[in-house]
Each structure stands twice: as structure tokens, then as C-alpha cells.
A and B are shown apart, each in its own frame.
Chain A
Amino acid sequence: EIVLTQSPGTLSLSPGERATLSCRASQIVSSTAFAWYQQKPGQAPSLVIYLTSNRAPGVPDRFSASGSGTEFTLTISRLEPEDFAVYYCQQYADSPSTFGQGTRLEIK
């Protein structure tokens, strides 16, 4: 199975700064079927990005994502207070689907 490794484990930034979260796959992801989720404490995870770069409904345009092969990136252009959360990547291009271990985005 494809192992996804997210980096960094924790990212400490201030509101207004730019956040770049990475997800590296152990082998080439065969299609664009790659997603990112946001999870706040005590809540279910919410889809942020699907098919590598498409924002889910209601997701603000400060969120963008890209990637291919083994390297995928989620960028938040200007952090708002509500963006501080844990983010997970998921590949659903190959069987079985797998998740990364998460990046905690915390307020500096």
C-alpha cells in the first residue's frame, strides 16, 4: 500500500502568514485522486481539497493545493484564526486508500 508521510508534524505560524503543508507518497500516485482534510478539536474531519487541487464547497480561496507523482502540497495563503487545525492528506487513487499521519497547524 502507499504510505503517505506528512511534513512538518507541527507547523507554528501567525495569522496572516502563509502555510505550506507537504505530503510525500512512498510510490507514485497513479492519478489525481488526492485529498486534504481539516480537523478541529472535537469535530469530524472536513474535506478541503479533492482531486489534488479542487476546493470542496464552502472552502475559501486562500486554500490551494497541487501535486503529482509522489509530492503533494496544501497551501493556505493568509492564515485566519479558524484555519488552525490538524490537516490530513489522503490518496484514493490506488487500493487501498491511505491517509497521512497529519500536520498540526498551531498558532505561534
Chain B
Amino acid sequence: DAGVIQSPRHEVTEMGQEVTLRCKPISGHDYLFWYRQTMMRGLELLIYFNNNVPIDDSGMPEDRFSAKMPNASFSTLKIQPSEPRDSAVYFCASRQTGSSYNEQFFGPGTRLTVL
């Protein structure tokens, strides 16, 4: 299996622009998680989906952030408009119901820089 795939790996954009991050979970996994990693706040869970349905979005920082999962093999995290404080590494992770006790498999991350 190719593992969790994220694109792009690096994104540099200017303040005010829309940014879309993409994730393809491992085939057969029914949970998908979006995390943000910063020096100040560490790893934070933003939102997670089960069977393509958002279950908990309490970690989404504000309305500028939105996430969708239109099908079992694709999810997006969108920031509109982007701000410099959104600069971070964004990770996607997936897991499978019935697998080893909440073990999550992480993608390589997208490093976002907002100028």
C-alpha cells in the first residue's frame, strides 16, 4: 500500500489567497484526521471524519478553515482567506475500524507558508 498521500508537499502563498490541501487515505480506512503542527502549539487535531462524515470539528480554528470528504478516498482542507499565522505543517492521518486500537497512519504532511 502507498500509505497516506498528501499534496502538495510544500505550499507558499500570499496572505488573502485561498489554499487547498489534499489527502488520500489508505484504501479501506474509514477514519480520516487532519492535524496542524506548529512550534507554539505542537500537534493539534483539527477535524476528523468517519465514513466521509465530519464527526468532530471542534479543533478547527475559525470559519476561514473548512474540510470536506466527498468520497472514501479523498479529503480537502481549505483555508480562505489565508493569513501568516496559518503557516504550519498540516498532516492527514487515517485508521481502520477494527484495527489496532486507534492506531493512526500519518501522511508526510504539507508545509504551508503564508507570506
Q: Do chains A and B interact in one complex?
A: no
